[in-house]
Amino acid sequence: MVSLADLRVGLGLDRHRLAKGLPLVLAGVTIDSSERGPEAHSDGDVLVHALIDALLGACGLGDIGEHFPPSDVQWANASGEALLKGTLQLVREAYPAFQVINVDATIHLEAPKLKPYKFPVRETLAKWLDLPISCVSVKAKTGEKLPPVGTLEAIDAQVAVLLTLNASC
Ligand code: MG
């Protein structure tokens, strides 16, 4: 039973500049057909970074830069999974009985087409969040050849999260 008073929605956005020859990883899944990847202090997992901001936003706990600052060497080359685990721990400390209800994500990338990767990305996110796969949506859009996504300069991600702060009531 979920109380309406405990429901929270969160929205996260992230963007990374793309460069040729770098790996592209989305929710831990390597997009092996991509010729470009993000320039980043961490692994540049734009989808997980947007998810983290959505989770933090839903709980009023700030943003990814406050908790995992790029200036902190502790987070150099940190994987999206490691940052997400740290975020879930932060949320759990504030709201021990919280539970994510569903996630809806959109990735904006001009190339390659993400269709073959969407299911593995959903599977991984569902596993990390302990959700049925039906509660995790991953959509992909191109940038219609318009900058910066459409000109292969950037990758964007948007994530909406619904959660309950108290799943036990
Ligand atoms: Mg980022």
Tokens of 129: 């969040």
Q: Cα torsion for 41, 42, 45, 50, to the nearest 10°?
A: -80
> In angstroms, rounded to a whole number, what is the distance separating the alpha carbons of residues 167 and 97?
6
Tell me, in angstroms, the distance from the centre of ligand 1 to residue 151's CA.
19
| Cα 42 to Cα 99: distance, rounded to the nearest angstrom | 27
**Burial zone of 8 (CB within 10 Å; 0-12 exposed, 13-18 middle, 19+ buried):** middle
Q: How far is the CA of 3 from the centre of ligand 1 (A)?
A: 33
- As a whole number, the mean pLDDT across the chain is 95
The Cα 17–Cα 14 span in angstroms is 10
From 144, 147, 127, select the one nearest 135 (Cα to Cα): 127
pLDDT in tens, 143-165: 999 999 999 999 999 999 999 99
Report the separation in Å between the CA atom of 132 and the middle of ligand 1, taken as the mean of its atom positions.
26
CA of 40 to the centre of ligand 1 (A): 7
- Write the burial class of residue 101 (CB in 10 Å: 0-12 exposed, 13-18 middle, 19+ buried): middle
Question: Which tens digit of pLDDT belongs to each residue from 17-54?
Answer: 999 999 999 999 999 999 999 998 788 999 999 999 99
Tell me, in angstroms, the distance from the centre of ligand 1 to residue 84's CA.
Answer: 12
- Cα of 28 vs centre of ligand 1, distance in Å, is 14
Q: How far is CA 72 from CA 34, 67, 76, 90, 116, in A?
A: 29, 10, 7, 17, 35
Mean of the pLDDT values across residues 67-96? Answer: 92
Q: Rounded to two decimals, what is the model's pTM?
A: 0.96
